Amino acid sequence: MNNSLEFILSLFDCISKLKSIRRTGWVESSVRDPESIADHSFGVVFLAAVLADLRGLDVAEVVRMAILHDLPEAVTGDLTPREKQTKIKEVEKIEEEAIRRLFKDAPREVYEKYVSAWRKFSENSTPEARLVKLVDKLEMGLQACKYMEERLDSRLIEIYDSAKNYLEEDRELLEVLKRMLKR
């Protein structure tokens, strides 16, 4: 039980870091008081869980992937897509190692479940992983719309367009994003 307590505390340490790291894209776009990685992750988890239910996917697996999707950023920081592209193999290795390290003190079955979910997510190898990747971009695009609405700042359209381009493969999510912009 002592290992379980330490495991829970190490998880909390990690998620606490995510609460204080501001999303780099918003900072670089001069958004005052931008959301944290944890704020973004909550939105992704919530939207992905509901969409998984609506689409008949494995909700538990989707939630696992969604809560893990930005967890390595407690180690790497919030890298921009450009930064990730230049060091893609190095970043992938660091991210997987961060997940393995974070769950090393978990009971074996928990460790395997979360590392497996991470691997499927990072490889984009299941419908659940694809949904979480799409929702990650959807949430970013929706947040861009919110910031544009609140600040009347059209510079954020570049982030919106990035999300829109990514969502081209899912017409339903693309329509959600477009409707948000029209509001």
Per residue in 111-122, pLDDT (tens digit) is 999 999 999 999
d(Cα 10, Cα 73) in Å, to the nearest integer?
A: 15
Tokens of 99: 């997940």
Lowest mean pLDDT among 74-78, 129-133, 160-164: 74-78
The confidence band for 153, taking pLDDT boundaries of 50, 70 and 90, is low
- pTM score, two decimals? 0.90
Of 12, 17, 25, the C-alpha closest to 163 is 25
Task: Tell whether the model's pLDDT for residue 53 goes beyond 80.
Answer: yes
d(Cα 51, Cα 93) in Å, to the nearest integer?
A: 29
- Please give the pLDDT value at position 152: 63
The confidence band for 160, taking pLDDT boundaries of 50, 70 and 90, is very high
Q: Give the residue carrying structure tokens 């700042």.
A: 153
- CATH code of the region 2-182: 1.10.3210.10
- Please give the pLDDT value at position 29: 85
Task: Tell whether the model's pLDDT for residue 1 goes beyond 60.
Answer: no
CA of residue 173 relative to chain centroid, distance: 16
> Where exactly are the structural domains of the chain?
2-182
163-172 own/partner pairs: CB under 8 Å, 24+ apart: 163/137, 163/138, 166/134, 166/137, 167/134, 167/137, 167/138, 167/141, 169/134, 170/134
92-98 own/partner pairs: CB under 8 Å, 24+ apart: 92/122, 95/122, 96/72, 96/122, 98/71, 98/72, 98/74
Q: Looking at residues 40-64, what average pLDDT do you find?
A: 98
